[in-house]
Structure 1
Amino acid sequence: MSDKPLVVDADGTLLRTDMLLECAWKGLGTDPQGTLRAIRHLPDRAAFKAALARIAPLRIDLLPVHEEIVALVEQAKAQGREVVLASASDRSLVDPLAQRFGFDRVFASDGGKNLKGAAKARALVDAYGEQGFDYAGNDASDMEIWRHADRAIVVGRAAGAVHKLDDPVRIAGGWSPRALIKALRPHQWVKNVLLFLPMIAAHAFHFDTFLRVCLGIVAFSAAASTIYIVNDLLDIEADRLHATKKRRPFAAGTVPIPVGMAACLLLAIVALGVGAALSWQMFGVVAFYMALSLAYSMRLKRLRWIDIATLASLYTLRVVAGAAASEVYASVFMLIFIFPIFLTLGCVKRMTELALAADDKPLPGRGYARGDRGDLLNMAVLGMVGALVIFFLYSWSDQARILYPDQWLLWVALLPIAAWLYRMIRLGYFGKQDYDPIVFALRDIRGIGYLLITLSLMFYAAGLWTEWYFRLVG
């Protein structure tokens, strides 16, 4: 049993995250201008870290940890060994972290000196001598310290450096592709079926049109996952305060922030590349969707009512994208009709979150509290009524008379539309659905029944059932 001090790195070793990157992303979310100004300190890494720590101080008590390292620290303390926290992060962050876990001594960057790699090794050798300490790290830069340590404790793969060490102690770490896929939220891609609406409304049931819409869905799915990652990185701290969102990969530390950033860049290239391959109009829609989503993640979602209007706009852009991808005309009536529907669903989303909230405090990162449920309900009902009125007015338009000769069936279709919207509002108000109403709607059997009845009535009004029947028997 060793009696030498146990020195532990913070970022990626004791913690399942990187405090510098956490500060940077939190700063972009809370003070983007100040964070961007801090970049001027970047050549001086220590000054840069100190500036970010001032701009975006972290909730140290919320940071995810490697339980194996915490247990190792507790074991060393029980053996009477000195436990030391040595980090390249700024001291203003490292000191409270050391207090949280009861470390005896701290080495950290201080705004003037960046304590990483060789600099950290010199500081530890000066304090404890050659081979006078055991060191736990996770990064290739820690190789400089391991060379002077008595025992190397390696968390994860350490970028291949572990193979250069003699008999290191290995502790599992790293991340899995499954966790990264979870961060992409593939279940949310189902919302992109909205791109089929213009094709269905125009009765453009052709294989090439279908294929183009499918490619549009690929572009929008990649774009959406890009923004989901950005949103999660900006909201890491707020997510850790949430009952269910705290299990998201970046909040829980199961996927490193640099991996998320790399995936984000790759997905953005795919989204814009596929969009450009379809048409420049589709490229423009994808780019605008990503820009608006980014604005929503960074600022707009914190503004009451503006956040709901933005959500409705983002859903509506999916329909616009369907028209751009398929090169099918989307009528103004369609866009005016679906916007209040999505406005209603945006209110449903917030009502659900408030109904499931643990207390009466404002939602983390949002501008609503439980007292706002009544106002949200009123807005949702107004959106429902507005959508039904617009649909009725559409039934009298020249385009509707051409596409739907049996006009009265469109009026009948108002009933299942109203029933579906009422169901969504009621379930959202009482917190009986998913946090995302679109995802819930595409899983809700009764709601899907209402939508299929609506679609069937509209197809019948258009004479499509008769046309398809004679094609089948002919």
Structure 2
Amino acid sequence: MSRDAVPLCVDLDGTLIHGDLLVETCVALLHKNPLYLFLLPWWLLHGKAHLKAQVASRVLLNHAALPFHRELLQWLADEKRDGRQIWLCTASNQRLAEAVALHLQLFNGVLASTDTLNLSGKQKAEMLVAKFGNRAFDYCGNDHVDLYVWSVSRGGVVVNPHGNLEQRARQVTHVYRTFGSPEHHARAICALLRPHQWAKNVLLFVPMAAAHRVLDPIALGHAALGFLAFCLCASSVYVLNDMLDVEADRQHPRKALRPFASGVLPLTAGFALIPLLLLGTAGIAWLLPIQFGLALAGYYLLTLAYTLGVKQVVIVDVLFLAGLYTTRIIAGAAAVAVPLSLWLLLFSMFLFLSLALVKRFAELQVMQRQGKLEAAGRGYRLDDLALLESLGTGAGYMCVLVLALYINNPVVEMLYRRPEVLWGLCPLMLYWITRVWVVSHRGQMLDDPVMFALRDRASLVIGVLAAVVIYLAT
């Protein structure tokens, strides 16, 4: 019997797609309503097949956006063109498997888990033998549980092998094709944590600098510990955000390259990373004043609320973003035990409200270039562009007004020897705010204006000039 005459049975999870549909649907269900978390264990008590059925009946996935293994798909299409029968054989629920098959238009048939049978391991091997006969089919899989199937198959295709999987598969069947993993996990985990975003946590050093304690080694050490705690905490939220936003990210031209959205990392990695990051955060916070811990807890709750749904509420989302930046300043003051300046808090709220509006404005521009009416996962529409621009520039100029009122305050004379020099900050801030919005209006702004500022030469020059002005005033 030629190889073309032997049906090829293809697994779905981890093979045809980078990821697991059960995990994907569970995450989508929790994103829809976090209270389902209490139902998942109850469904699992009735068996894994029952769990899959209950979840699949409540979730609608965009199957076209799933992270398919493109190289494998092309090879399967070639095999199909040569006249070979291709069957989708998966432990995923029948509803989901049939939807994937309908989208791909590649398979001669679908074998999948029912509401009572979990088609995995021995059960899958027995079903395939019953349908095609012993050693009368080839099987394409990716996991050690697939060894049961390969042991009764005529030949095997191994996808994304880990450890000694390929070696063990060769011991039970003839492996004639192997498809490798897309990328090293270590690099993907680093990208998932977004270390470049940690630059935002430099705001924790601002209260210490404003209190003229930058040369105090104890204050500097406490601020550094606070910085590290916020970095770990923020990364835990980035991981959670990417897990919950995975479907919306797959519809975004740049975010589709993120580790979860692209399938480079399985969503299960997030369930391990999040508690580890939070444990490290709590350990560092324990070394700092309790006020810092309370500010950090508030920051985490705000980011959690933002991730779980606030980011979809128009205007409230940008207020939350501005509040998150301001919370960093509050935490920085608590870490080094300096009093909070209301002027600094007002300046921060207006400045970061403007930058949050820049972020939404830039996202809408991307959607506009793609011909979409609204941003996926957000509440904004294209006809909001002019409004966002107006609100953002107004908030930016308000922060300059707050700065001017602060400089005119008699308290400033107690902190600076030459307070009149500080007026040089106002034209610098006016220029920078205006430049940010001009760049945004021209469609040249990155999704994150803070990261833009850190890479933009003009912004860096303005930052240096501002530091010189403050030094001359001190």
TM range (shorter): over 0.9
SS at match of 1:170: strand
What is the CA–CA distance in structure 2 between the aligned matches of 1:144 and 1:325, rounded to whole Å? 57
Q: Which residue of 2 aligns with 1:163?
A: 167
- C-alpha displacement of 1:296: 0.8
Match of 1:193 in 2: 202
Counterparts of 1:186-335 in structure 2, within 5 Å, are 186-205=195-214, 206-335=216-345
- Number of the residue aligned with 1:126: 130
Asked whether the equivalents of residues 198 and 323 of structure 1 are also in contact (C-alpha less than 8 Å), the reply is: yes
Is 1:351 aligned to residue 353 of structure 2?
A: no
Structure 1 gaps, min length 5:
463-474
Q: 1:173 aligns with which of 181, 199, 203?
A: 181
Shift of 1:254: 1.1
Query: SS where residue 278 of structure 1 aligns?
Result: coil
| Cα displacement (A) at 1:58 | 0.8
Between the two proteins, the alignment pairs up a number of residues equal to 462
Please state whether the residue corresponding to 2:253 is helix, strand or coil.
Answer: coil
For residue 396 of structure 1, report the CA deviation from its aligned partner: 4.1
RMSD of aligned Cα (Å): 1.9
| Partner deviation per Cα, 1:54-76 (whole Å, 9 max, x = no partner) | 22211111111112322332233
Post-superposition shift, 1:85?
0.7
- Segments of structure 2 that go 5 or more residues without pairing to the other structure are none
2: CA distance, partners of 1:222 / 1:301? 21
**Secondary structure of 1:330's partner?**
coil
Which of 80, 92, 95 is the aligned partner of 1:92? Answer: 95
Whole-Å separation in 2 of the counterparts to 1:430 and 1:223? 34
TM-score for both structures, normalised by structure 1: 0.92
Question: Once the 2 structures are TM-superposed, how far is the Cα of residue 175 of structure 1 from its aligned partner?
Answer: 4.3
Matched, 1:141 2:145: yes
Return the alpha-carbon distance in structure 2 between the equivalents of residues 191 and 108 of structure 1: 47
- Alignment equivalent of 1:105, drawn from 89, 106, 109: 109
- Paired residue type of 1:145: V
Alpha-carbon distance in structure 2 between the residues aligned to 1:269 and 1:4? 52
Give yes or no for the alignment of 1:420 onto 2:432.
yes
Corresponding position of 1:11: 13
What's the CA shift string for 1:134-172, capped at 9, x where partnerless? 111111221222222222322123454433332534321
- Displacement of 1:124 in angstroms is 1.1
**Retained in 1: the 8 A contact 2:13–2:20?**
yes
Runs of 4+ residues over 6 Å off in structure 1: none
For 1:397 and 1:450, the matched residues in 2 are separated by 24
Which of 56, 60, 65 aligns to 2:59? It is: 56
Alignment of 1:21-60 (within 5 A): 21-34=23-36, 36-43=38-45, 44-60=47-63
Deviations 1:337-367 (A, max 9, x none): 2111100111111112222322250111111
Aligned letter for 1:8?
V
392, 401, 406: which is aligned to 2:418? 406
2:353–2:392 Cα contact (<8 Å) kept: yes
1:7 Cα offset (Å): 0.7
1:412-455 alpha-carbon deviations (Å, 9 max, x no partner): 32111121112122222332221101111111111222222223
- 75, 78, 81: which one aligns with 1:78: 81
For 1:428-447, list aligned pairs within 5 A: 428-447=440-459
Taking structure 2 as the reference length, the TM-score comes to 0.92
Q: Distance in 1 between matches of 2:422 and 2:197?
A: 30
Contact kept, 8 Å, 1:354 with 1:370, in 2: the verdict is yes
2:156 maps to which residue? 152
Percent identity of equivalent pairs:
34
Range 259-268 or range 303-312, more displaced: 259-268
- Pairwise CA distance, 1:39: 4.0
- Higher mean alpha-carbon deviation, 75-84 vs 247-256, is at 75-84
- Aligned CA distance change for structure 1 residues 277 and 163 (closer, same or farther; 3 Å): farther
Residue identity in the other structure for 1:196: F
Contact kept, 8 Å, 1:133 with 1:151, in 2: the verdict is yes
Q: Quick one: distance in 1 between partners of 2:418 and 2:204?
A: 26
**Residue 348 of structure 2 is aligned to residue 338 of structure 1:** yes
Aligned 8 A contact 2:397 2:433 in 1: no
AA paired with 1:284? L
- CA distance in 2 between counterparts of 1:73 and 1:306 reads 47
Q: Cα gap change, 1:373/1:74 in structure 2, threshold over 3 Å: closer, same or farther?
A: closer
Query: What does the per-residue CA deviation read over 1:227-270, in whole Å, with 9 as the maximum and x for residues that have no partner?
Result: 11111111111111112111111111111111233222222222
1:60 and 1:341 mapped to 2: Cα distance?
Answer: 40
Q: What's the counterpart of residue 374 of structure 1?
A: 386
Q: CA deviation at 1:174?
A: 6.3
The separation in 1 between residues aligned to 2:350 and 2:272, in whole angstroms, is 36
**What letter corresponds to residue 441 of structure 1 in structure 2?**
A
Counterpart amino acid of residue 203 in structure 1 = H
Deviates more, 1:107-116 or 1:168-177: 168-177
